[in-house]
């Protein structure tokens, strides 16, 4: 068995220009290394500041196997701390979300902390007299993650102390978040309700790759969206479509449609499909919304905002954004063959409630455990995970539209929509993070 932990050469050998070895999806040691190297060095999504609107509000998540606490302090600042008591290491907060009041209190020995993580009280503190306690890490209180950044309400962290700064890591890809937030007449978003969660029995990278894979919809979704199309095909062309039909039908558009959508590739594995248009481009107009946007931004700027209809933006490795329909999905890797996906509906503050209804409906029929379209993908992910156990061909082809020009110039820029270039870009970021030297 290959020793990946002690051989960066062995890791590099897993990724070719136009193919990857099956071990990147199957090997538990590589998954462990991803949790130690790739995920801590990346800027990963923690949560949205609307989930902690008041002092003492908190949200708990796990990133790279580290329990984290996103907490709004008494000063209004949102911080990300390790969810670990500085004493014996118990989780300082056990619930997924809530409000802790004015202090955090450990349920084991009763140590308390201020909302900025500073140690506040220690029961019978005299027991530490004439010890080295004041010099210890325990006396410093809760540990903050190495780096945090908030952008348009989206809170990210980087666990490692080394690596690119936030702006360098995301660059111009942040325009997808800008477009999402700008769709609100007041430029603000709110998370609407708890996430839809369901487990995928497959490697996390399969889900992330699939988001910019436009060769699968008309095949994988033939039984779901294809059925909706068959049910609707007898209707007159000008017949008003019910919301679910309007959202289902574009999934079985033809190859030419998806190819002309286009895909744009950024550094560090980020990308988005829908450069020219997307499956969200032809939704029915919402009364009064365009007028609200024009009043807020002016006619020209409002048209530019609403004219963007990006399909899926991948913020590698943890977050995916659908700005035109106001939903996001968060990737929570569990094991080499197990991934939790959380899907959130966002509310455009100040916009008509019909927009929230449309977003919530989309999330339910596409991304929920009871969805129709989403389970097509779920089946395919599991089929890939199980099928890769077959010997004889240990490589996964990513050669669609690969060329010598790409080999010379790289993957960055705009490409045809059915290219596998986004996956090639992700694996270039993957191998770079997995073989980087220095403090992790």
- The CATH code of the domain that includes 381 is 3.90.380.10
Q: Is residue 18 part of a domain?
A: no
pLDDT digits (tens, 9 = 90+) for 132-168: 999 999 999 999 999 999 999 999 999 999 999 999 9
What is the rounded average pLDDT of the residues 326-346? 98
Can you give the residue range of the structural domain that contains 363? 185-435
Give the percent of the chain with pLDDT over 70: 99
Residue 238: the pLDDT is 84
What is the rounded average pLDDT of the residues 316-335? 98
Residues 321 and 398 in one domain: yes
Residues 143 and 226 in one domain: no
Residues 97 and 203 in one domain: no
- Total tally of structural domains belonging to the chain: 2
CA dihedral for 381, 245, 342, 212, sign (positive or negative): positive
CA–CA separation, 139 and 113 (whole Å): 11
Give the percent of the chain with pLDDT over 90: 88
pLDDT digits (tens, 9 = 90+) for 170-188: 999 999 999 999 999 999 9
Residues 144 and 195 in one domain: no
Residues 146 and 216 in one domain: no
Residue 438: the pLDDT is 52
Question: Per the structure block, which two tokens stand in for 427?
Answer: 């694996």
Residues 228 and 112 in one domain: no
Residue 154: the pLDDT is 98
Strands across the sheet containing 104-105: 104-105, 112-113, 119-121
Residues 143 and 224 in one domain: no
> Could you say which of 126, 151, 176 is where a domain stops?
151
Residue 231: the pLDDT is 84
Write the CA distances from 150 to 70, 126, 274, 369, integer angstroms: 12, 40, 26, 30
- pLDDT-based confidence at 440, cuts 50/70/90? very low
Question: Per the structure block, which two tokens stand in for 170?
Answer: 């995301």
Virtual torsion, Cα 129, 132, 138, 139, nearest 10 deg: 60
Q: What is the CA radius of gyration of the chain?
A: 23
Residues 136 and 222 in one domain: no
**pLDDT at 227 > cutoff 50:** yes
For residue 377, which of 199, 207, 197, 212 has the smallest C-alpha distance? 207
pLDDT digits (tens, 9 = 90+) for 271-292: 999 999 999 999 999 989 999 9
> Could you say which of 109, 126, 151 is where a domain stops?
151
Q: Is residue 172 part of a domain?
A: no
Would you call 27 helix, strand, or coil by DSSP? coil
Q: Is residue 178 part of a domain?
A: no
Q: Is residue 180 part of a domain?
A: no
3-state helix, strand and coil shares in percent for the chain, rounded to the nearest 5: 40, 20, 40
Q: Is residue 39 part of a domain?
A: no
Q: Is residue 165 part of a domain?
A: no
End-to-end, the C-alpha distance of the chain in Å comes to 25
What is the rounded average pLDDT of the residues 239-253? 89
Residues 218 and 141 in one domain: no
Residues 260 and 124 in one domain: no
pTM of the model: 0.95
- pLDDT-based confidence at 439, cuts 50/70/90? very low
CA–CA separation, 315 and 317 (whole Å): 6
Residues 236 and 330 in one domain: yes
Is the CB of residue 120 less than 8 Å from the CB of residue 114? yes
Virtual torsion, Cα 346, 93, 45, 80, nearest 10 deg: 110
Q: Is residue 406 part of a domain?
A: yes
Residue 307: the pLDDT is 95
What is the rounded average pLDDT of the residues 240-266? 93
Residues 357 and 216 in one domain: yes
Which CATH number does the domain housing residue 121 bear?
2.102.10.10
What is the rounded average pLDDT of the residues 26-55? 98
For residue 425, which of 242, 283, 265, 289 has the smallest C-alpha distance? 265
Helices (H), 308-368: 353-367
- When the pLDDT of each residue in the chain is averaged and rounded to a whole number, the result is 95
**pLDDT at 116 > cutoff 70:** yes
Q: Is residue 19 part of a domain?
A: no
Is the CB of residue 185 less than 8 Å from the CB of residue 403? no
Helices 373-387 and 353-367 cross at an angle (nearest 10°) of 30
């Amino acid at each position: 068995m290959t020793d990946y932990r002690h051989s960066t050469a062995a890791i590099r050998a897993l990724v070719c220009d136009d193919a990857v070895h099956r071990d990147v999806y199957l090997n538990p040691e590589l998954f462990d290394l991803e949790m130690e190297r790739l995920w801590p060095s990346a800027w990963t999504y923690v949560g949205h500041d609307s989930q902690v609107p008041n002092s003492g509000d908190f949200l708990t998540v796990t990133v790279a196997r580290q329990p984290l606490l996103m907490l709004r302090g008494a000063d209004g600042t949102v911080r990300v701390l390790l969810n670990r008591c500085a004493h014996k290491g118990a989780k300082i907060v056990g619930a997924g979300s809530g409000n802790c009041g004015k202090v955090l209190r450990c349920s084991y020995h009763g140590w308390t902390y201020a909302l900025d993580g500073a140690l506040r009280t220690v029961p019978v503190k005299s027991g530490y007299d004439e010890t080295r306690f004041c010099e210890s890490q325990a006396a410093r209180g809760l540990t903050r993650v190495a780096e945090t950044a908030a952008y348009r309400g989206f809170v990210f962290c980087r666990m490692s102390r080394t690596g690119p700064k936030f702006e360098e890591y995301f660059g111009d890809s942040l325009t997808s978040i800008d477009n999402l937030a700008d769709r609100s007449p007041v430029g603000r978003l709110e998370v609407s309700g708890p996430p839809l969660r369901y487990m995928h029995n497959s490697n996390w990278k399969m889900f992330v790759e699939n988001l910019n894979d436009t060769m699968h919809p008309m095949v994988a979704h033939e039984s779901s969206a294809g059925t909706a199309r068959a049910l609707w095909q007898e209707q007159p062309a000008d017949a008003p479509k019910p919301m679910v039909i309007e959202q289902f039908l574009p999934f079985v558009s033809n190859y030419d449609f998806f190819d002309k959508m286009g895909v744009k590739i950024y550094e560090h594995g980020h990308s988005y499909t829908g450069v020219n248009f997307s499956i969200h481009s032809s939704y029915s107009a919402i009364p009064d919304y365009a007028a609200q946007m024009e009043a807020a931004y002016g006619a020209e700027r409002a048209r530019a905002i609403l004219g963007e209809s990006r399909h899926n933006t991948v913020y590698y490795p943890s977050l995916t954004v659908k700005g035109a329909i106001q939903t996001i999905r968060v990737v929570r890797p569990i094991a080499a063959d197990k991934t939790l996906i959380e899907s959130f509906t966002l509310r455009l503050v100040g916009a008509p409630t019909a927009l929230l209804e449309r977003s919530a409906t989309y999330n339910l029929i596409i991304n929920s455990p009871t969805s129709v379209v989403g389970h097509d993908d779920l089946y395919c992910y599991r089929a890939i995970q199980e099928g890769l156990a077959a010997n004889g061909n240990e490589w996964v082809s990513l050669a669609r539209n690969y060329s010598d020009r790409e080999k010379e110039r790289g993957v960055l820029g705009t490409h045809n929509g059915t290219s596998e270039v986004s996956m090639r870009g992700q694996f270039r970021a993957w191998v770079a993070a997995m073989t980087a030297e220095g403090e992790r």
